[in-house]
Each structure stands twice: as C-alpha cells, then as structure tokens.
Amino acid sequence: MEIIFKHTWIMFIAVTIANGLILKYRSKKYILQNPELKEGYDKYFKGWMIFGNIPWVIMMIGNLSGITQNTFEYFNPKAMNTMVLIFHFSIIVLWVLSVRWIYFKNGAEFIETHPGLFQKSIFSGNTNLTAKQVKLFFPLMLLGGIAGMIMMWVMDIPSPQF
C-alpha cells in the first residue's frame, strides 16, 4: 500500500495524459471537417498537458524529495508543509488563469468553436457546449473546488503514516 499512497502522483499524471490523448483523438474528426481548427486544438492539447500536470509534478517533487511522506499530506494544508502549500497555491493559480481565459481571453468562445473539448450528456442530443453554457456552469465547477479547498483548510484530516 505504501507505494500506492507515496506515488499516487504517477496515476494522476497518467490520467491527465490519457484525458489529453482522448481529447486529441476526439478532435481529429473535427479537424478533418474544418482543418483551420487544427492549430487551436494543438494549443489546447499542449496547454492541457502542461497546466494539467503542474499540481502532480509538485506532488511528485514533494514525495520524491522526502518533503512529504505520502499523498494524504496534501489534504492537510494546515500543517503548513512548504510543498503542500505550493501544491495548493498552484491549484489557486490555475483557477485564476482559468477564470481569466474563460471570461477575458475568449476561452468560452474557443470551447464553443472547437467542438469535442467539453461535452454535455450524450442523452441530450446536442453534445457540444455553447460559450454561454460554459460561462454559466464554470462557476459551479469552480465552487466545488473552492468548497473542497476550504474543507481541507478547516477540517483536521489525519495523515496516516506508512
């Protein structure tokens, strides 16, 4: 069990990469229909791979350097471990960058014009999101993350030792 909880970041990086590859694969049919979208999809894919892995790379550095002992420490920022604080700070920075991109850098419109990046339920018929839907639902997703962050700062979550 130690290897699982000490090196959970491997799974997180693998899942982020897998999701990125799925996005890249899903975009191929849209690029065939509209080749001028290729550059946008490629930029999004690179951004996903870089920005999506920042927290997991920080977690990797913390665990491999011995600054943190396992993944559970990242659920307890109140312990004021430097690497855990950097991890949480990176998430907040990513949230701020996301808000900036969606609302001020035409990210919502980008998502609308590049179908397949985000999708609604398959059962609804129209699976691609509009810019208005992105701008309406993004705060709800962000609120869930903020609630989780607040809970980690308020609750006393014990960190098991392996």
Average pLDDT over residues 55-78: 94
For residues 79 and 68, the answer to whether their CB atoms sit within 8 Å is no
For residues 12 and 44, the answer to whether their CB atoms sit within 8 Å is no
- Residue with more model confidence, 26 or 90: 90
Q: What is the pTM of this model?
A: 0.89
Tell me the pLDDT tens digit for each residue of 67-94. 998 898 999 999 999 999 999 999 999 9
Query: Exposed/middle/buried for 161, CB within 10 Å: 0-12, 13-18, 19+?
Result: exposed
Per-domain residue ranges of the chain: 2-154
Tell me the pLDDT tens digit for each residue of 102-132. 999 999 999 999 988 887 665 556 578 889 9
